[in-house]
Amino acid sequence: MGIVVVGTVAYDSIETPFGKVEETLGGSALYFTVAASFFTRVGIVAVIGEDFDLGKISFLKDRNVSFDGLYVEKGKTFRWKGYYSYNLNEAHTLDTQLNVLENFDPILPEEFTRKDLLFLANIDPELQLKVLDQMKNVKFSAADTMNFWIDSKKEKVMEVFSRVNAVTINEGEIRELTEEYNLVKAARKILDIGPEHVIIKRGEYGVLVFEKSGEVFFVPAYPLEKVFDPTGAGDTFAGGFMGFLDSQGEIKRNLRKAVIYGSVLASYNVEKFSFLKLLEISRQDIDERYREFLNFCRVE
């Protein structure tokens, strides 16, 4: 049991129509880990600079998170600056500073290489491949990316996707990656290169899952009255999804439930800046909202 995640740990500066924050905690691996740690043990593989305040994430150690693969290097932590207009489904990047990420060589602790589940969160696809190559016996793997890497390393992104069981990607990015507007055709193009599941994240319109078998599964987003900051919703979704799968053991039978758990976690995350909301909720809150989700489409 246990998940390995590789991705970014970041200082984010974000502006939404409802507020602004400078240098708040973020990064794909961090959002994923906070969400997944509700369900299972997580080994985080990432790099931070000497400027990172580790004290701010030490609470994760009490949640069964291993920092043995978290490297501190000379230089500055990865930084991302973005904004959202009233279309909260689309993040606009203003600035990306790779900093210590530029020379990161992720060597996995021996214990991590034997974990069952692997999530390749949004990071340089060459680093995703390096981590994938070190894993000895993965039962289920999934990967994500974003336009920054599609623009600069498209072939590597495709190589990563061809080697995992599931791809999680947002709708704008799969259209860009496949050069296909129609999501059914876009998903088919990715399914054709390898993965069994393509999970398309559509912000307030929910999640569409396309299976190699031809099945389609759709989960709406939780109808929230207040969406404050969508940053990290995708990574939080993945954390809930993979975390729940790992806690259940059997993958196939639990995949749809896991998509709903991912949606539950993402719905909480957007209610506040950074992952602050996730620190206020309990496993019981998560299960209650899961039951609400089940009712959304139930017909007597």
In the complex, the residues that contact ligand AMP under the rule CB under 6 A are: 8, 10, 12, 26-28, 80, 91, 96, 122-123, 146, 148, 231-235
Q: What minimum distance in Å lies between the beta carbon of 75 and ligand AMP? A: 16
Residue closer to ligand AMP by CB (options 120, 286) is: 120
Q: What minimum distance in Å lies between the beta carbon of 235 and ligand AMP? A: 4
Residue closer to ligand AMP by CB (options 171, 235) is: 235
Q: What minimum distance in Å lies between the beta carbon of 26 and ligand AMP? A: 3
Residue closer to ligand AMP by CB (options 80, 244) is: 80
- At 113, which amino acid appears? T
Residue closer to ligand AMP by CB (options 146, 245) is: 146
Residue closer to ligand AMP by CB (options 1, 54) is: 54
**Residue 23 has which token pair?**
């240098």
Rg over CA atoms, the chain: 18
Q: How many angstroms separate the first and last alpha carbons of the chain? A: 38
CB 270 within 8 A of CB 227: yes
Ramachandran area for residue 113 (φ above 0: left; ψ -120 to 50: alpha; else beta): alpha
Q: What minimum distance in Å lies between the beta carbon of 161 and ligand AMP? A: 16
Residue nearest to ligand AMP (CB): 26
Q: What minimum distance in Å lies between the beta carbon of 67 and ligand AMP? A: 18
Written in H, E and C, the secondary structure of 32-95 is HHHHHCCCCCEEEEEEEECCCCHHHHHHHHHHCEEEEEEEEECCCCEEEEEECCCCCCCCEEEE
